[in-house]
Amino acid sequence: MTLAYVALGSNLGNPKRQVLDAMDALAKLSATRLLQRSHLYCTPPWGLLEQPPFVNAAAELDTALSPHALLDALLAIEQQAGRVRTERNGPRTLDLDVLHIDGVQLDDERLTLPHPRMAERAFVLLPLNDVAPALWLPGQGVVAELLGRLDLAGCERLLAP
C-alpha cells in the first residue's frame, strides 16, 4: 500500500454534492482506503475566468493501485458524474487529479507525478494542506511552504454539509 493524494473539483450542477459524492466513490475504490478528506473550499476559476467558482477538496488515500490504475479509476468516477472533456480549464461537473504518490516520479503521455503545476495553484494546495501540510513534493517543495507563497484571494473554506 502506498499513500496517494487526489485533488477534487467541480463548478457545474451542484458542485458541493459532486465533490462529496466523489469522496464517497474514492472510499469505495478497490485496494484503496480513504484516509483523510480536506475541508471543502470555494475558489475562483483558473485559466478560463468566465465561469462559475469551483468547489475544491483533496483526499489522502492508501492504495495498492498502480499510478495508471488509480488514474483510470478517477477517470471512471468523473465519467459517472457526467464529465465531458471539451476544453482545458473550462467548467466541469467533476475533475479528479492524481497529485502525488509517495515514492513515484513519472512523466509519460498519460500522467506526470508529482502534478507539475500544483505549486502554482491555491485551489490545489489549500485543501492538500489540510491533509498533508508537511508533504514534500519532489522538485517543488513542502506543501505548507508552497501554499504560503500563493495569493489566497477569493478562496473561502465552506461549512460542512
Return the active site residues.
Answer: 83, 92, 95, 97
Spatial separation of the C-alpha atoms in residues 28 and 114, rounded to whole Å? 24
Per the structure block, which three cell numbers stand in for 43? 475558489
Spatial separation of the C-alpha atoms in residues 157 and 48, rounded to whole Å? 22
Spatial separation of the C-alpha atoms in residues 143 and 133, rounded to whole Å? 5
Residue 20: which of 36, 40, 5, 3 has the closest Cα? 40
Return the number of other C-beta atoms located less than 10 Å from residue 4's C-beta.
23
What is the chain's length? 161
